[in-house]
Chain A
Amino acid sequence: MAQVGFYHDMTRCVGCKACQMACKDKNDLAIGLIYRHAESYETGTYPLPASYCYSFSCNHCAMPACLAACPAQAITKMEDGTVIIDEEVCIGCQECIPACPYGVPQYKADTNTVGKCDGCYELRMNGESNACASTCAARALYFGDLEELQARFGSGKTLVNEFPALGAMPETEPSLLVNLKDAAKEASFSPSLY
């Protein structure tokens, strides 16, 4: 089965949050709702600190725990592997939120539904690109078929889908390829600039 996902080049990301804002805009999210968030972390001590940034969102898992937890069949895995919540069908029970190993789904009180990154499915079906990836000034974020992303960016590198700030890879098989910075391998880290 085809599987789309994100490639994040941590060696390029500057944590500028343009992807976060593009997502906010595309999904027209009220304050308090964030489907993609870019964060900065630091390790080490002065005068030799190290830092890295990462842009978190739905990993469109191969075996999505959210989908399995949904009693209303509101969550669908599309033919290309995108995991989508149909908010017309969602009953707002929020079962999917704790089920997700990454805490991705967000409850929306005003509509009593849960929303999350849909990989800009509609946009892509209409020939546009993902809002987040297409705005990345550092060219650090890409979306596409995982095998194609691996072929395009993985040459001579080991791309991973787990690191301490993200957590160990869960059984859901996240569709994620990260070109890790060395600093991100440190077990000890703290949130940095914001």
Chain B
Amino acid sequence: MENSNGITRRTFVSAAAAMTAMAALASAGCSPTQNSVEEGGAASGAGVAGTWVSAACWHNCGGRCVNMALVQDGVVIRQKTDDSHEDSPEQFQQRACVRGRSQRNQVFSADRIRKPLKRSGWAPGGGANSQGELRGRDTWEEIGWDEALDLIAQEFERIKTDYGNKAFLVIGGEAQSLMASYGGYVGSWGTTSYGTFAYTPGIVGLGDFNFSDSGNDRLDFKNCETIVLIGSNPAWSSAGSPIYHALLLKEQGTKFVALDPFYNESHSALGAEWIPTRPGTETTLFIGVAYEMLRMDPEKQLIDWDFLNTYTIGFDAEHMPEGEDPAGNFKDYLLGTSDGTPKTPEWTAARTGIPAEKITYIAELIGKDTRAAIVGSYSAARNTHTDNWPQMFMTIGAMGGHFGKSGHMCGLTTNARAYGGGPAIFQAGSDGLESVPNPIKDESICHVEMWKGIVEGSYTFTGTSTSKRNPGVQKSIDIHVIWHAGSARLQTADDQVSGIAAHRKVDLVISNASFMTTNSKYSDFILPVSTLWERPGGFLTGNREMLIMHTQVVDRYYETYSDQEIAKMLAPLLGIDGEEIWPTSAAQQFFNQCAGATMTDESGEKVTLISFTQEEIDALGVDGEPQEGSISFSEYKEKGVVSVKRSEGDAYTYYYYEDFIDDPVANPTKSESGLMEIYSRQLASTIRDFGYSNDVTPIPTFYTGPEGYAGTFENGDMVAGVPSAYPFQLYNPHYLRRSHTVFDNVQWLREAWTNPVYLNASDAGAKGIATGDVVKITSPHGVTLRPACVTERLMPGMVGLVHGAWVNVDESTGIDYAGSDNYVYGTVKSGAGVSGWNSGICNFEKASESLIPDVDLPLLVNYNADGTYAGGGRR
């Protein structure tokens, strides 16, 4: 039997049997022993025996679902999703999405890398020896693990001796632990998905890091009359259960209003009223809404003054922080007392393109007497020059009093926790490992300027993470090694054109990868990584009402190893004792997570989750003591998931910010004042000190950057309205073909989702472009090609280039053929260092180039029938 991945059972088994020297490091793999089933018979007469195994679906997708794999003779025959219990709104099944359902087509993809690859033109010694300019163009050759790791270790030693540890840029947890033990490395950080929610919320008193879990409990969404969505598309961006919860709300009569550039599939299914809105203009829009709430308040009582007076500072002159000029308050900014410009609907309309009457309409919609949820995703914050947006968002919620009570919310409802905030009911235990802290604490590059910084040899050091920050210091940097041992940074960081140049500049690039990813394509060594389907097991968290346990599905795939195993193999070659960093086996780490797992029971008590018998512990081959819990290990392993059945008023009921509202003195926010700071001295001063931009203000105000909506006009003048050379705003919707960059090589998904660029029908029509035509998208930073999807569902002036396609540059022209988003985004420094993927600018035209449909492109890695490497690596 040959399945659609081209893997027969025989080649698979023989490949696994061929493991030799390195197999000694293999984890204590448990072969699948779950419940066997007998199938078939009736129709075909062919009985198919197999075993269902809870198979990890572990990606950065914004969802989290149950995935089961049917294993027969070590080969996965097919998948299914959650059927561990009957489906009901009270206890819903964790149903998998289109990507999860294709998971075996990824794990066993024909282009999955089986043995280490070395770039042909690379040689040790650095400089010209590395022929760095060939990265991304060169051919590859297979190399043994021993030889690959020896070469890497020798280069590390040479570079460490010549340039020191600050020559190493290392990305990925296990490699970082190794390199920390080796003397340290240069780290990196970025606002990634979170945009300006990565820094602003904690400073202004709006929840915790990233402002996640910021809605009320799932059951309380029913109590909202109106849900205002700001940049939200759970059907695509939080695939899995969230859209189901939202649909139930629609069916009970909840009104949805959507602010978004796109009338997306979620809006359509929810019957949402669409108010077309350009990303990055939300702060300005809500300044206008706040003005209208204030104007209409005497007549319509829209503002919750008690809330403002009790829980916030900075709204009016009477409630300003001590030592600040009372004239700097928000209300006087709205009225124009302080700057002579009232922020009327007409003023707002001219700066957002949103009709004035819609601004008035929104103000009436979210007054204090409406049970309103103002919720959305991070997308409005993934814009440059929007560091005041989370504060404006908080301010609107505070004006309506939409915090801490039933039926009222102002928060994010996104990722797997969309439509259900609150602390997790189930928690996995610790694996028992401790990460090694990086001894180099005075270097770390923000993604926004990471690649350009490496190329130019200097950058601004503003801290070591989104929250651990210091005033900006200009530093020189001399990177010689880039090690991608996690993430997809060359594909996902801003300014990929500089990223490619940075990769071509250094002496050595290593990529741990399962496929010829963008990281890998521009590397010198590709170290093939095992997937979670080939490891003993672990846990996956998503919505708070469940916890997924996954276990090993199949044996080790050819000569692939986990990131931890790879780091541990390299350790002795660098004179490091890997046993000290990773003293336990992967199986023991899994057991530790199991043994320490907890759940909050119906009385609100935290109890041990998993029972273990001695036999179960022995079968795992680990050290441990039997224990009593809520579910046996064997039953959990068979089901793959535990969940709770919810009911009104149960122990899991949760209202975001309830503690603060009950007693703001005992439960202060994390701001300087302990209140919600509509005026935040710290926000403005710290961000200005970073040195990226000088526009962030203590209160939310109107300002723009060089790109985004303003950048589509000459001199950024929206009011004059003269188009610039890049008259379209480029933004970056998440797309169901991929999870960020993950899955982009999966043929089943490439067939299902073609990856077009979304264009408004009038805009496209004016340029003679129809659906299917090849479009050339030109930004100030790069040029890319995509087939057009012409639609009435995207507002005019916007171009929707979906996120995460693996760059495919034609070296003769420098044009990308894949629609790689970061190829057309540049280094645009602003605020706290935000990556602004929704505030690009571009122009587009009908292209003279032709495009082969993605699914028909040759694979990047090929193997002969006998398992030998057959080349590839270029398109």
Shortest distance between the CB of A126 and any CB in chain B (Å) = 5
Shortest distance between the CB of A186 and any CB in chain B (Å) = 13
Q: Say yes or no for B761: interface residue by CB 8 A criterion.
A: yes
User: Roughly how many angstroms separate A26 CA and B243 CA in the complex, as a whole number?
Assistant: 24
Q: Are B736 and A52 in contact (CB under 8 A)?
A: no
The answer, among A47, A53, A118, A139, for a CB contact under 8 Å with B244, is A139
Q: From A32, which residue of chain B is reached at the shortest CB distance?
A: B751
Q: Are B269 and A138 in contact (CB under 8 A)?
A: yes
Q: Flag B49-90 by CB within 8 Å of A: 1 or 0 each.
A: 000000000000000000000000000011111010001000
Q: Are A122 and B39 in contact (CB under 8 A)?
A: yes
Which residues of A have CB within 8 Å of B791? 42, 49, 192-193
Stretch at the interface among B126-134, B150-158, B233-241, B803-811: B233-241
Shortest distance between the CB of A146 and any CB in chain B (Å) = 21
Interface residues of A in 1-49 (CB under 8 A from B): 11-18, 20-22, 24-26, 28-32, 34, 40, 42, 44-47, 49
Given A25-B78, A135-B101: A11 and B95 interface contact (C-beta under 8 Å): no
Q: Say yes or no for A170: interface residue by CB 8 A criterion.
A: no
Shortest distance between the CB of A39 and any CB in chain B (Å) = 11
Q: Are B265 and A193 in contact (CB under 8 A)?
A: yes
Which residues of A have CB within 8 Å of B758? 193
Q: How many residues of A contact B (CB 8 A)?
A: 55
Which residues of A have CB within 8 Å of B266? 14
Q: Are A21 and B748 in contact (CB under 8 A)?
A: yes
Given A51-B793, A129-B83: A191 and B102 interface contact (C-beta under 8 Å): no
Which residues of A have CB within 8 Å of B38? 126
Q: Say yes or no for A50: interface residue by CB 8 A criterion.
A: yes
Interface residues of A in 96-144 (CB under 8 A from B): 118, 121-123, 125-126, 128-129, 131, 134-139
Q: Are B265 and A20 in contact (CB under 8 A)?
A: no
Which residues of B have CB within 8 Å of A47? 274, 276, 795
Q: Say yes or no for B852: interface residue by CB 8 A criterion.
A: no
Given A21-B748, A137-B243, A193-B793: A46 and B762 interface contact (C-beta under 8 Å): yes
User: Roughly how many angstroms separate A63 CA and B867 CA in the complex, as a whole number?
Assistant: 49
The answer, among B43, B96, B274, B855, for a CB contact under 8 Å with A135, is B96
Which residues of A have CB within 8 Å of B736? 16-17
Q: Say yes or no for A84: interface residue by CB 8 A criterion.
A: yes
Interface residues of B in 734-780 (CB under 8 A from A): 736, 747-749, 751-754, 756, 758, 760-762, 771
User: Roughly how many angstroms separate A105 CA and B105 CA in the complex, as a whole number?
Assistant: 24
Q: Say yes or no for B694: interface residue by CB 8 A criterion.
A: no
Which residues of B have CB within 8 Å of A21? 98-99, 101-102, 748-749, 752
Given A14-B235, A47-B274: A138 and B247 interface contact (C-beta under 8 Å): yes
Q: Flag A45-65 by CB within 8 Å of B: 1 or 0 each.
A: 111011111000000000000
Q: Are A22 and B101 in contact (CB under 8 A)?
A: yes
Shortest distance between the CB of B559 and any CB in chain A (Å) = 26
User: Roughly how many angstroms separate A29 CA and B789 CA in the complex, as a whole number?
Assistant: 26
Which residues of A have CB within 8 Å of B756? 194
Q: Are B268 and A51 in contact (CB under 8 A)?
A: yes
Given A20-B752, A134-B81: A139 and B87 interface contact (C-beta under 8 Å): yes
Q: From B42, which residue of chain A is reached at the shortest CB distance?
A: A125
Q: Are B753 and A131 in contact (CB under 8 A)?
A: no
The answer, among A14, A25, A88, A192, for a CB contact under 8 Å with B79, is A25
Q: Say yes or no for B115: interface residue by CB 8 A criterion.
A: no
Shortest distance between the CB of B545 and any CB in chain A (Å) = 15
User: Roughly how many angstroms separate A88 CA and B98 CA in the complex, as a whole number?
Assistant: 30
Which residues of B have CB within 8 Å of A15? 235, 265
Q: Are B78 and A28 in contact (CB under 8 A)?
A: yes
Which residues of A have CB within 8 Å of B793? 42, 46, 49, 51, 192-193
Q: Are A51 and B95 in contact (CB under 8 A)?
A: no
Which residues of A have CB within 8 Å of B323? none
Q: Are B3 and A28 in contact (CB under 8 A)?
A: yes
User: Roughly how many angstroms separate A47 CA and B753 CA in the complex, as a whole number?
Assistant: 25
Q: Are B40 and A122 in contact (CB under 8 A)?
A: yes
Most buried by B among A18, A30, A32, A51: A18
The answer, among A13, A125, A137, for a CB contact under 8 Å with B95, is A137
Q: Are B269 and A137 in contact (CB under 8 A)?
A: no
User: Roughly how many angstroms separate A49 CA and B240 CA in the complex, as a whole number?
Assistant: 26
Q: Say yes or no for B533: interface residue by CB 8 A criterion.
A: no
Given A16-B98, A29-B4: A138 and B244 interface contact (C-beta under 8 Å): yes
Which residues of B have CB within 8 Å of A192? 789, 791, 793
Q: Are B268 and A50 in contact (CB under 8 A)?
A: yes
Q: Say yes or no for B190: interface residue by CB 8 A criterion.
A: no
Most buried by B among A26, A42, A138, A193: A193
Shortest distance between the CB of B733 and any CB in chain A (Å) = 10
User: Roughly how many angstroms separate A28 CA and B747 CA in the complex, as a whole number?
Assistant: 13
Which residues of B have CB within 8 Å of A138? 235, 243-244, 247, 269
Q: From B794, which residue of chain A is reached at the shortest CB distance?
A: A46
Q: Are A135 and B269 in contact (CB under 8 A)?
A: no
Shortest distance between the CB of A48 and any CB in chain B (Å) = 8
Most buried by A among B235, B268, B274: B268
User: Roughly how many angstroms separate A78 CA and B44 CA in the complex, as a whole number?
Assistant: 13
Q: Say yes or no for B37: interface residue by CB 8 A criterion.
A: yes
Q: From A22, which residue of chain B is reached at the shortest CB distance?
A: B101
Interface residues of B in 149-203 (CB under 8 A from A): none
User: Roughly how many angstroms separate A128 CA and B747 CA in the complex, as a whole number?
Assistant: 27
Q: Are B751 and A40 in contact (CB under 8 A)?
A: no
Q: Are B274 and A24 in contact (CB under 8 A)?
A: no
User: Roughly how many angstroms separate A192 CA and B99 CA in the complex, as a whole number?
Assistant: 20
Given A11-B269, A50-B268, A135-B81: A191 and B239 interface contact (C-beta under 8 Å): no
Given A50-B268, A138-B244: A16 and B97 interface contact (C-beta under 8 Å): yes
Which residues of B have CB within 8 Å of A44? 792
Which residues of B have CB within 8 Å of A122? 39-44
Q: Say yes or no for B378: interface residue by CB 8 A criterion.
A: no
Q: From A88, which residue of chain B is reached at the shortest CB distance?
A: B44
Most buried by A among B37, B40, B235, B796: B235
Which residues of A have CB within 8 Å of B39? 122-123, 126, 128
The answer, among A16, A25, A139, for a CB contact under 8 Å with B235, is A16
Which residues of B have CB within 8 Å of A25? 78-79, 101-102, 104-105, 748
Shortest distance between the CB of B527 and any CB in chain A (Å) = 29
Q: From A181, which residue of chain B is reached at the shortest CB distance?
A: B268
Shortest distance between the CB of B258 and any CB in chain A (Å) = 12
User: Roughly how many angstroms separate A46 CA and B792 CA in the complex, as a whole number?
Assistant: 5
Q: Say yes or no for B263: interface residue by CB 8 A criterion.
A: yes
The answer, among B80, B747, B789, for a CB contact under 8 Å with A194, is B789
Q: Are B761 and A126 in contact (CB under 8 A)?
A: no
User: Roughly how many angstroms separate A139 CA and B79 CA in the complex, as a whole number?
Assistant: 19
Q: Are A121 and B42 in contact (CB under 8 A)?
A: yes
Which residues of A have CB within 8 Å of B796? 46
Q: Are A136 and B95 in contact (CB under 8 A)?
A: yes
User: Roughly how many angstroms separate A25 CA and B736 CA in the complex, as a whole number?
Assistant: 17
Interface residues of B in 556-583 (CB under 8 A from A): none
Which residues of A have CB within 8 Å of B98? 16-18, 20-21
Q: Are B771 and A51 in contact (CB under 8 A)?
A: no
Shortest distance between the CB of B687 and any CB in chain A (Å) = 35
Which residues of B have CB within 8 Å of A28? 3-4, 77-78
Q: Flag A167-194 by CB within 8 Å of B: 1 or 0 each.
A: 0000000000000000000000011111
Can you offer 14 A-B residue contacts whose CB atoms are under 8 A? A16-B97, A16-B265, A21-B99, A22-B101, A25-B102, A25-B105, A31-B855, A46-B276, A51-B263, A86-B43, A134-B80, A135-B81, A135-B96, A194-B754
Q: A14-B243, A18-B96 are in contact. List 5 more A-B contacts (CB 8 A).
A: A31-B747, A46-B794, A51-B263, A193-B264, A193-B789
Which B residues fall within an 8 A CB radius of A?
3-4, 37-44, 77-81, 83, 87, 95-102, 104-105, 235-236, 239-241, 243-244, 247, 263-266, 268-269, 274, 276, 736, 747-749, 751-754, 756, 758, 760-762, 771, 789, 791-796, 855
Which A residues fall within an 8 A CB radius of B?
11-18, 20-22, 24-26, 28-32, 34, 40, 42, 44-47, 49-53, 78, 84, 86, 88, 118, 121-123, 125-126, 128-129, 131, 134-139, 190-194
